[in-house]
């Protein structure tokens, strides 16, 4: 599917493919650099995201902003989105059929952004992108490479807010992301 950002956003705004669109305030397609090397994928919008129509702007989003800063980047330099673009009621985990209905939009975002590295924040993102067998406590911190794109599953920032002891592992994963970006950069830049 060859799409433009405008047509993708229009499709998302008009989407009624699953019941999540009923009762929301705003769709939350995602935002950032549409040509970013690094992409972050979360689960789905929460209350604050639903109110503003922007991904990761609540408490978990503020921690994500710090995580991005910790690797020397800004939110404007990366692309941030979610598996589902509509807030699930009471912030429940999206149902498999809801995630499946929204997946074509995530695929379109991949093909427009063409990131080299994708950070999968939490189990919902890891499972939607890499398969149902993913277990975040077991599989976080381990690179998965597909067609030249590097996927790093790690903890969701909301999990880090609930359990500070996970922050050490998350920092390890972010350092690996920083290292991979440098490695890919050095491979693609012409040698002196």
Q: Does 50 bind ligand URA (CB under 6 A)?
A: no
Closest to ligand URA by CB, 4 or 137: 137
What mask, x for binding ligand URA by CB under 6 A, covers residues 151 to 170?
-------x------------
Can you spell out the DSSP letters for the chain? ----HHHHHHHHHH--SSGGGTT-S-----EE-TT-SEEEEES---HHHHHHT-SS-SHHHHHHHHHHHHTT--GGGSEEEES-SSPPGGGPPPPHHHHHHHHHHHHHHHHHH--SEEEEESHHHHHHHH-TT--HHHHTT--EEETTEEEEEE--HHHHHH-GGGHHHHHHHHHHHHHHHHHHHHHHSPP-
**Residue 64 is encoded by which pair of tokens?**
């994500």
Q: Does 109 bind ligand URA (CB under 6 A)?
A: no
Q: Which stretch binds ligand URA (CB under 6 A): 45-53, 65-73, 126-134, 173-181?
A: 45-53
Q: Does 67 bind ligand URA (CB under 6 A)?
A: no
Candidate residues 29, 32, 46, 115; the one interacting with ligand URA per rule CB under 6 A: 46
To ligand URA, the closest distance from the beta carbon of 185 in angstroms equals 28
Q: Does 88 bind ligand URA (CB under 6 A)?
A: no
Q: Does 56 bind ligand URA (CB under 6 A)?
A: yes
CA 131 centroid distance within chain: 15
Candidate residues 21, 32, 82, 120; the one interacting with ligand URA per rule CB under 6 A: 82
To ligand URA, the closest distance from the beta carbon of 182 in angstroms equals 27
Question: Quick check: 80 and 55 in contact, CB under 8 A?
Answer: yes
Where do contacts with ligand URA occur on this chain (CB under 6 A)? 42-46, 49, 55-56, 58, 60-61, 82, 158
């Amino acid at each position: 599917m060859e799409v433009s950002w405008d047509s993708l956003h229009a499709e998302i705004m008009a989407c009624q493919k699953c019941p999540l669109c009923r009762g929301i305030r705003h769709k939350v397609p995602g935002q950032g650099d549409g040509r970013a090397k690094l992409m972050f994928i979360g689960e789905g919008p929460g209350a604050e995201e639903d109110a503003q129509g922007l991904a990761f702007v609540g408490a978990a989003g503020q921690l994500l902003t710090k995580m991005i800063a910790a690797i020397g980047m800004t939110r404007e330099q990366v692309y941030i989105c979610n598996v589902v673009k509509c807030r699930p009621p009471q912030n429940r985990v999206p149902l498999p059929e809801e995630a499946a209905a929204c997946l074509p939009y995530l695929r379109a975002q991949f093909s427009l952004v063409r990131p080299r590295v994708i950070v999968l924040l939490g189990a919902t993102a890891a499972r939607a992108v890499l398969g149902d067998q993913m277990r975040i406590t077991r599989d976080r911190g381990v690179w998965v490479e597909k067609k030249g794109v590097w996927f790093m599953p790690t903890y969701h920032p909301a999990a880090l807010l609930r359990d500070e002891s996970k922050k050490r592992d998350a920092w390890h994963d972010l350092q690996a992301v920083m290292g991979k970006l440098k490695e890919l950069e050095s491979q693609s830049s012409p040698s002196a």
